[in-house]
Amino acid sequence: MVDVALGDRSYKIYIGDRVLHGIAETIKEKCGSVRAALITNAKVWDYYGSQVVEALDVEGIGYELILVPDGEQAKSLSVAEKVYGELIEKGFERKDAIIALGGGVVGDLAGFVASTYERGIAYVQVPTTLLAQVDSSVGGKVAVNHPLGKNMIGTFYQPSLVYIDVATLSTLSERDYAGGMAEIIKYAFIKGEPLLSLLQERKDEIQARDVDVLSQIVMMSCSIKAEIVEADERDLGLRAVLNYGHTLGHAIESVSGYQYNHGEAVAIGMVFAAELSERLGLLEKKDVELHRRVIDMYGLPSSMNASSIDEFMKVMERDKKRSMGGHVFVLLDGVGNPVVRRVDDNDLIAALEAFLKEG
């Protein structure tokens, strides 16, 4: 279990194997709710709906099922409006709760709805993907997309609890599982030991989805994120280090038309950030090679080819405007020591041209 200490917004992250049956008892204890809106998609419902409903029935918690579309299309104001409508029609009040059962999209949508419905209703994150378990379900950033940008409409709203069952990871595709591993690798490079050694020494067990090792690395990742969120809940400074690999990563997602998923793009972005750190005299070459080795180890891309950097620069230019005039990168001043730096255009262009050429 991991504690996220945020005063009156504090909550616990419960982590275990085959523990969905205990979720309702925990919800009753932490939220005091006897009625819940269960927000999920059809695919996740087919996998895990019966387990959650059985647990709710045992504890006498009534529920209403609200199904949303699968994929990024669900993170929209139009889908949020439909969810609001169902909550209103079914008579949900502030004393009730919302359960987000699914990956990051479901969690973001349900959290955003919870933060705004009747000025705030309790919600519980039950993430079923590795990416959501170690990243989006923790920290209280909830949002929907706008046609002009991802996550542009959102709030900071902490869940009442996060309930992680690593058994749900058995149904993930190889690609989605690897994508989640990219975020865990990110934590290893920004924090260092012992997670970094664990990823290298127990790679075969992790790749085989051994639940004991998975529980361990998920808990370590959540602990790292919780520590950073506790220090900077509103993303005003330190929390930026969680964006290691994300500056170029977001550009890769956009320029490729999302042919790379988030984890794959972040993996490439981390190698670039490491190379940029070396170029600026912050990181040794052996640590850049360590990035490539660990990322390759988990079947993630560590490079890419592109004939021109223009499109990447355009996307990063938008980020530059939003960060008040400089290309802001999270770099490493040694493994385990992230720093936030503004990078000169000439340095960035030279590094990007070299990186994309060698890919």
Top-ranked range on mean pLDDT: pick from 247-256, 278-287, 310-319? 278-287
The 3-class SS string of 153-201 reads: EEEECCCCEEEEEHHHHHHCCHHHHHHHHHHHHHHHHHHCCCHHHHHHH
Residue 245 has what DSSP assignment? Answer: T
H-assigned helices in the chain: 23-31, 42-58, 77-89, 104-116, 130-131, 174-191, 195-201, 203-207, 211-231, 246-255, 262-279, 285-297, 310-322, 345-358
**Are 99 and 231 within one domain?**
no
Number of domains in the chain: 2
H-assigned helices in 117-160: 130-131
Domain ends where: 171, 190, 222?
171
**Are 190 and 80 within one domain?**
no
Domain ends where: 171, 205, 240?
171
**Are 54 and 182 within one domain?**
no
**Are 302 and 332 within one domain?**
yes
Least confident of 28-37, 117-126, 162-171, 189-198: 28-37
The helix/strand/coil state of 140 is: coil
pLDDT value of position 62: 96
**Are 267 and 329 within one domain?**
yes
**Are 189 and 324 within one domain?**
yes
**Are 80 and 190 within one domain?**
no
**Are 83 and 178 within one domain?**
no
Q: Is the pLDDT of residue 206 over 70?
A: yes
**Are 178 and 167 within one domain?**
no
Contact between 300 and 312 under an 8 Å Cβ cutoff? The reply is: no
**Are 117 and 226 within one domain?**
no
Q: Does the predicted TM-score (pTM) go above 0.75?
A: yes
Q: Is the pLDDT of residue 149 over 50?
A: yes
| pLDDT classification of 323: cutoffs 50, 70, 90 | low
Express each pLDDT in 175-199 by its tens digit. 999 999 999 999 999 999 999 999 9
Annotated binding site for Zn(2+): 183, 246, 262
Question: By percentage, how much of the chain surpasses pLDDT 70?
Answer: 97
Express each pLDDT in 326-336 by its tens digit. 688 999 999 99
Contact between 220 and 195 under an 8 Å Cβ cutoff? The reply is: yes
pLDDT value of position 321: 47
- Domain with residue 206: its CATH number is 1.20.1090.10
**Are 181 and 91 within one domain?**
no
Annotated binding site: 70-75, 104-108, 128-129, 141, 150, 168-171, 183, 246, 262
Q: Is the pLDDT of residue 13 over 80?
A: yes
- Domain with residue 146: its CATH number is 3.40.50.1970
Express each pLDDT in 336-358 by its tens digit. 999 999 998 889 999 999 998 77
Structural domain that includes position 155? 2-171
**Are 83 and 199 within one domain?**
no
Q: Is the pLDDT of residue 234 over 60?
A: yes
| pLDDT classification of 32: cutoffs 50, 70, 90 | confident
Name, in order, each residue with C-beta under 8 angstroms of 348's C-beta and a sequence gap of 6 or more.
276, 313, 316, 327
Domain ends where: 115, 140, 171?
171
pLDDT value of position 359: 63
Q: Is the pLDDT of residue 152 over 70?
A: yes
Least confident of 38-42, 123-127, 349-353: 349-353
pLDDT value of position 320: 53
Annotated binding site for NAD(+): 70-75, 104-108, 128-129, 141, 150, 168-171
Total Cβ atoms within 10 A of residue 66: 20
| Measured distance CA(3)–CA(185) in Å, rounded | 22
